[in-house]
Amino acid sequence: MPWCPICKNEYIEGKTHCPDCDADLVDELPAEESTDRESPVLPSEEELAEAAARAAAASHMNTHVSARDRHSETRSSAWTFLIVGGVGVCFITLALLGVVQLPLNTFSLAVMEGMFFLFLLIAVISFRNAMAMLDDISKEEDLESRVRKWAAENLNAEELASGLEENTPDEMRFFLISEAVRERLMSAFPEVDDAFAEKLVEDFYNEHY
Domain boundaries along the sequence of the chain: 17-61+155-208, 68-129
Residue 115's φ and ψ, nearest 5 degrees, are -65, -40
Q: Residues 158-184: what's their mean pLDDT?
A: 85
C-alpha 82/C-alpha 176 separation (Å) is 49
Check residue 120 and give its pLDDT. Answer: 96
Check residue 55 and give its pLDDT. Answer: 57
Closest CA to 69 of 123, 122, 137: 137
Q: Residues 134-154: what's their mean pLDDT?
A: 92
Confidence band of 75 (pLDDT split at 50, 70, 90): very high
User: Are the C-beta atoms of residues 148 and 160 closer than 8 Å to each other?
Assistant: no
C-alpha 2/C-alpha 24 separation (Å) is 9
Q: Residues 142-163: what's their mean pLDDT?
A: 90
% of the chain exceeding 90 in pLDDT: 40
pLDDT digits (tens, 9 = 90+) for 34-60: 444 444 445 555 655 565 555 555 554
Q: Residues 24-36: what's their mean pLDDT?
A: 65
Check residue 89 and give its pLDDT. Answer: 94
C-alpha 122/C-alpha 20 separation (Å) is 38
Which positions ≥6 away from 96 have C-beta within 8 Å? Answer: 106, 109, 110, 113
Distance of CA 76 to the CA centre of its chain: 20
Planar angle of CA 178, 179, 181, nearest 5 degrees: 65
Q: Residues 110-125: what's their mean pLDDT?
A: 94
C-alpha 92/C-alpha 173 separation (Å) is 62
More confident residue, 33 or 147: 147
Handedness of CA 146, 149, 154, 160 (dihedral sign): positive
User: Rounded to two decimals, what is the model's pTM?
Assistant: 0.55
**Ranges 35-44, 55-64, 83-92, 176-185: which has the least confidence:** 35-44
